Amino acid sequence: MASSENPDLSIIILNYNVKELLLNCLESTFKNKTSSDQWQVIVVDNASSDGSVEAVREKYPQVELVESKKNLGFAAGNNMGVLLAKAPVILFLNPDTVVVGQAIQKTLAVLLSNPDFGVVTCKVELPDGRMDYSCHRGFPTPWNSLAYFSGFAKMFPKLALFSGYTASFLDISKAHEVDCISGTFLMVRKIAGEQIGFWDKDYFFNGEDIEFCYSLKQKGWKIYYYPEEKIIHYKGSSSGLWQTGAVKVERGTKLTAATHAASAMRIFYKKHYYKNYPPLLRDFVLGGIKMLEHYRKFKIITGLKYE
């Protein structure tokens, strides 16, 4: 049964084999929900084999469950949840997160405060207290990507010329407009999401949030970062690609995730930048993505730190 028949917010959580993290996420969500909050909570399960569905059904009967027969990936999986969403605003929330305080309520208030805001995120914080840079980014243009992967962004974090992708030249302690946020905590007006068809199913895992934000900005919507509230993100718990994950991930899963990450880069580049550059540069960028993919897989195979 639904959390509310006339919700003002639909929360969609896409799960894949992270049962305990999912239960913790739901616990933090409902613990911080007040009697005045009209929320619809939807869990879409991507064919998990760890008992996630049974555990949610038993502990949270108020949650609407969608069970996929196969792993559809992030974009298609979340789109299944959208079909059930009743509210005018949707929050896409990762299962490997913990909601802190009034993060959901206050972010919703910020979104509704300005009709030009299509998407708003709160601050997404890693378990060690660092900010997850993905919640506050620029677009991965060829130059921004080169500056990021070459290390210049770390060397000159306050120079916009080199830190365009991480957007670290902006004051992360203050609210402001950004180009791109993360799908970890992405609150969007339903009308805005409908204009772009929500998540692009060309992406299986990784990159779909960049595409989402890029498409919204093309439609004239603003993307807004609101750091006064936060969630905690155990990043990498499904993919194993970051050291902040809370569960052990098999090497084969990590390698598959690395393949999808590289594929996402190619898809976005070809969709939006490929035709804007001369052939030599096009091939250079695609070659760089292939080299990065091999390098990341080498690190996974040899046990070196991925980040």
| pLDDT 10s digits, 257-270 | 788 788 888 898 99
Average pLDDT on 143-155 reads 92
Let me know: does 128 contact 58? Beta carbons within 8 Å. no
pLDDT classification of 274: cutoffs 50, 70, 90: confident
Q: What is the residue whose two structure tokens read 């916009």?
A: 160
Residue 137, helix vs strand vs coil: strand
57, 60, 66, 69 alpha-carbon torsion, rounded to 10°: -40
pTM: 0.89
What percentage of the chain carries pLDDT values higher than 90? 73
Predicted confidence (pLDDT) per residue in 35-93, tens digit: 999 999 999 999 999 999 999 999 999 999 999 999 999 999 999 999 999 999 999 99
HSE (CB half, 13 Å, CA atoms) of 240?
A: 21
pLDDT classification of 251: cutoffs 50, 70, 90: confident
pLDDT at 293: 79
Residue 276 has pLDDT above 50, yes or no: yes
Q: What is the pLDDT of residues 103-116, one digit of tens each?
A: 999 999 999 999 99
Looking at residue 288, its pLDDT comes to: 86
Kindly indicate the confidence band of residue 2, based on its pLDDT and cuts at 50, 70 and 90. Answer: very low
Q: What is the pLDDT of residue 159?
A: 96
Q: What is the CA radius of gyration of the chain?
A: 19
Range with the poorest average pLDDT among 15-24, 39-48, 215-224, 235-244:
235-244
Could you identify the residue written with the tokens 């035709």? 275
| Model pLDDT for residues 181-200, shown as the tens digit of each residue | 999 999 999 999 999 999 99
How high does pLDDT run on average in the chain?
91
pLDDT band at 241 (very low <50, low <70, confident <90, very high): low
Mean pLDDT to the nearest integer, 242-246: 55
| Cα separation values, 124 from 56, 82, 217, Å | 24, 23, 21
Whose structure tokens read 């299509």? 118
Q: Does the pLDDT of residue 101 top 60, yes or no?
A: yes
